[in-house]
Structure 1
Amino acid sequence: MSRGSFVFTSMALRSLELDKDMLERHKYKAQIATHHFSSFMLKKEALDSTQRRSTITRRPAVCQDVVIHNALYTGDVEALKRFFPRGSMANLVIEPQGGEMRWVAQGRGLWSLTYEQELTTPLHITAGRGFADCLSLLLHRGANVDLAPGGHTALHEACESCQPECAKLLLIHGANANAVSEDGLMPLHVCTSPESLGCAKYLLQYGATINSCTLDEDDAPLHVAARNGLQDHVELYLRHGASVDNKNNEGLTPLNAACAHPQEMKDFGRYLKVCQMLLDAGADVRTKDQDRHTPLHMACKNANADVVDLLLAKGACVNIMNYGGEAPMHNILKVVCFKVSHHPERIVRALLNNGSIRFWPGALPMVLKHCSESPHTIEVLLNAYSHLKVTDTWVESVPEDAYKEHKDFFESIFSLAMTPRSLQHLARCKLRSFMEGRVHKVVPKLDLPTFIKDYLLLECRGYVH
């Protein structure tokens, strides 16, 4: 047994076999990527075919020279001119020194600790860091523009790092705008931030396929842009003919993807604009993924009230059930305790005004328990019932801290154990029942004072009566 190695137990050997299977699957995926790459290969007519063939046939040299590495990583163009004078060839593969340590299988149950190193090229290094002058020098010295020793091209690197000038240089010199990485991604698929818009424009200008899909997830560029809330990218892709209702492997359209992606409050505006553009382009508001989740289900789960209002205005159905038997109302009530600052009562009110189903009254104590941090949500929900059977279970369901913080509100609920609902409330329930799911359309048109309209639409008052 050599130093730095050890013998595994039988359990560990089983783990090693599983790891071997994973490596084989990875190799198979790389073979598919290579096939996909060749099927999408687009050649530039302006490129001298003779020069291209001579470049490809030259086998790149492996460079371990630290001085050259430093010049590349620091963007020292003068040093690179000395290392690669006119007439020299800059077609190199960089083998970095050092790296992260990992255990590598050596066979017969032996593993050894070695450095994990990802091969790269001078083009990758300079393109990813935005060193356009260095990149131009290397390209004019014959560097292979599509070389991908680490599994992705320099164009992928430039787009992922949001370096539009470097991406343009690579494309001008014949980089394949549809090159497929080892992970099955094309350059458009790695444009995932607002700063990558310039790269996306150049890619489309130089022949990138607008509806090309990733190998693993079957995501089109529009899926990627919508999922990341990139409104400018979405607008760009739609102008170039992106299919608005393409589904990926999970059955998600771009609209589903936008509504399903976890969102911070600061990003709500971006996702609202993305959804608006997709719907204006003809996206199906009632489309379902493989679990029968609609965009409305997902928008409720993210507690994005503006998107919920938009989807309802475009005809989303409030009572479609997913495979778990849950309607959008279930999704919002499950996240109320985590999304209090998102004003979940707005969503509950909108759903009820559009005819959403209500909970079985026997489940209301559970709602009190899980929504106790948002009294407004509880108020809106309880005001959709004409009668409530308040018992000791209701009192016991409210956490002590929440009761102390909102004592007056919860006391107004508990007092109904001895008192019927007010006549005013019963009249509201009767009118709402008469209008059924048309409350949101009919009430604003009534010739009534604003405060009565708000009352009919379940605006919050801070108590239940």
Structure 2
Amino acid sequence: MSAVESSKAGRDSDAGGGKLSSMSKGSFVFTSMALHSLEADADILERHRYKQRLASHHLLSYRLKKEASKRVPLRSSMFLKPAMCQDVVIQNAVYTGNLEAMQRLFPRGSTANLIIEPQGGEMRWAARGEGLWSLTYEQELTMPLHITAGRGFADCLKFLLQRGASVDLAPGGITALHESCANCESECTKLLLVHGANANAVSEDGRMPLHLCTTPESFECAKHLLQYGGAINGRTVDEDDTPLHVAARNGLPNHIELYLRYGAAVDKQNDEGLTPLNAACSQPQELQDLQRYFKVCQLLLKAGADLHTTDQDKHTPLHMACKNVNADLVDLLLANGACVNNMDYGGEAPMHNILKVVCYKIAHSPERIVRALLNHGSIRVWPGALPMVLKHCSESPRTIEVLLNAYSHLKVNDTWVEAVSPEVFKEHKEFYESVFSLQLTPRSLQHLARYRLRAFLEGRLDKVVPQLHMPTFLKNYLLLDYRGYIH
């Protein structure tokens, strides 16, 4: 190719994609397909350059607007730093939610960012130097915004926000949003979020607002937080708990359902190795709380929670449910495949956990748990330890009945008689007389037949017995139903 042709090709190239075809034909030999590809590449390049110019235009426009907004004079309250407030009149208006008084006390141009040091509080020991300690009131700094948010004074809170109160200030280690969530004030929670409060602000003790939703009444607060970007899997600093851990530990089925819908991780472990399921099972439960915790665990299992995960001490959810004597929950875990004979670090199975607390939880029907464990193949108590078990569990005759019916024969002696206090014997005289009579008589043939059949079906009783073609009362007898006496 001559110098003239080369120079012409260079000029054609600078002219753009429109002359690509003529340049190509005059310089090289191209196929029609190659020419089409080159033209397409040129078109893509031109569109890319257009997008770059457009993006530069938008960026310049954004910067100009930002610079303009910086030059707009703000309200004076936005420039003022938080100031200490010791004015009793102002404090009284804030603490009582007196909107009319606050409108007079906070005129336009004044700052709403006042720091208040409450008087009183809880007593605590504080170091005063050189090994000296004294009792002082534990005082945490607060602000009008925090007080109104925590007490549910929505009108006052809205007024303070209009006066320029900063939503994320935390002089006492927590924000106003923490206060409203801790006190279940859903209207105030939403108001703060609408005005830009950080839904994931971390308090001094390492908790986000979602971690403070610990009661059924806090459900609406939790819902607002998630709608405004609350971190569904956010962790606490100290325990590494997620909101799902907190809800499970407090027995909050509605919260659990909400969090799962927002994608909460169901098997995250905290610093103690607890998953939300473990946390729910390990929490001490009063009689009125049993169904709430049962519902929580039901939801978690349905969402795929692993019931074999153990904590640092090798406790499974079944260990914990037995310790807290939640019979419905034990049935649920067993129905989903929980292992009845897993040992913890102390060498104890779930059966040990339930027997240790029978006397404290008689109202929780501990006999149901002992029966369920035995019917699912649990290990039995060493016969030599039965007098000790009798001593600690005698106030629950049904528990004793279920335990004793798991043996073909019993070596009843005076130690057994001494293990039952006179008061308990008097209250359950007929039952314990039937137990002590075994000192002189063997077990009945009917019981021995039951024992042999149970031994043959061990580990399958709960599945096989319901399918047997026999009367219901015989099925119940095989599954250690209660009769009120030993024979």
TM over 0.5: yes
* Structure 1 stretch displaced more, 64-73 or 106-115: 106-115
From 351, 355, 364, the counterpart of 1:329? 351
Q: 1:64, 1:96 within 8 Å by CA — same for their partners in 2?
A: no
Corresponding residue of 1:410: 432
Q: CA deviation at 1:277?
A: 0.1
Cα RMSD between the aligned structures?
Answer: 2.0
Structure 2 distance, partners of 1:115, 1:136, is 31
**Does residue 486 of structure 2 align to residue 464 of structure 1?**
yes
**Does residue 407 of structure 2 align to residue 390 of structure 1?**
no
Aligned AA (2:356):
K
Structure 1 distance, partners of 2:72, 2:474, is 80
Q: CA deviation at 1:106?
A: 4.1
Distance 1:168 1:333, change over 3 A: same
Structure 2 distance, partners of 1:111, 1:391, is 59
**Does residue 112 of structure 2 align to residue 90 of structure 1?**
yes
Aligned AA (2:453):
L
Residues 257-293 of structure 1: per-residue CA shift (max 9 Å, x gap): 1011011111111111100000000001111100000
Distance 1:51 1:111, change over 3 A: farther
**Does residue 472 of structure 2 align to residue 446 of structure 1?**
no
Larger Rg: 2
For residue 389 of structure 1, give the secondary structure of its aligned residue in structure 2: coil
Structure 1 distance, partners of 2:319, 2:420, is 27
Q: 1:73, 1:125 within 8 Å by CA — same for their partners in 2?
A: yes
**Does residue 173 of structure 2 align to residue 151 of structure 1?**
yes
Corresponding residue of 1:213: 235
Corresponding residue of 2:290: 268
Q: CA deviation at 1:95?
A: 2.2
Corresponding residue of 1:366: 388
Structure 1 distance, partners of 2:234, 2:115, is 29
Q: CA deviation at 1:342?
A: 1.0
For residue 251 of structure 2, give the secondary structure of its aligned residue in structure 1: coil
Q: CA deviation at 1:113?
A: 6.5
Aligned AA (2:413):
T
Residues 209-234 of structure 1: per-residue CA shift (max 9 Å, x gap): 00111111111000000010000000
Q: 2:322, 2:330 within 8 Å by CA — same for their partners in 1?
A: yes
Corresponding residue of 2:268: 246
Distance 1:138 1:53, change over 3 A: closer
Structure 2 distance, partners of 1:266, 1:460, is 25
Equivalenced residue count is 419
Q: CA deviation at 1:144?
A: 1.1
TM-score if structure 1 supplies the norm length?
A: 0.87
Structure 2 distance, partners of 1:372, 1:264, is 22
Aligned AA (1:74):
T
Distance 1:448 1:113, change over 3 A: closer
Amino-acid identity (%) = 74
Aligned AA (1:125):
I
From 326, 336, 341, the counterpart of 1:319? 341
Q: 1:210, 1:237 within 8 Å by CA — same for their partners in 2?
A: yes
For residue 237 of structure 2, give the secondary structure of its aligned residue in structure 1: coil
For residue 81 of structure 1, give the secondary structure of its aligned residue in structure 2: helix
Distance 1:412 1:291, change over 3 A: same
Q: 1:219, 1:248 within 8 Å by CA — same for their partners in 2?
A: yes
Aligned AA (2:367):
E
For residue 191 of structure 2, give the secondary structure of its aligned residue in structure 1: helix
Distance 1:80 1:55, change over 3 A: closer
Q: CA deviation at 1:393?
A: 1.2
Q: CA deviation at 1:115?
A: 4.8
Structure 2 distance, partners of 1:160, 1:98, is 21
Q: Any stretches of 5+ residues in structure 2 without a counterpart? A: 1-68
For residue 380 of structure 1, give the secondary structure of its aligned residue in structure 2: helix
Corresponding residue of 2:32: none
Aligned AA (1:245):
D
Higher RCO by CA contacts (8 Å cutoff, separation 6 or greater):
1
Q: 1:186, 1:214 within 8 Å by CA — same for their partners in 2?
A: yes
Corresponding residue of 1:455: 477
Corresponding residue of 2:308: 286
**Does residue 268 of structure 2 align to residue 255 of structure 1?**
no
Distance 1:351 1:133, change over 3 A: same
Structure 2 distance, partners of 1:281, 1:424, is 45
Corresponding residue of 1:277: 299
Q: 1:64, 1:97 within 8 Å by CA — same for their partners in 2?
A: no
- The 5-angstrom pairing of residues 218-229 of structure 1 reads 218-229=240-251
Structure 2 distance, partners of 1:95, 1:162, is 23
Aligned AA (2:385):
A
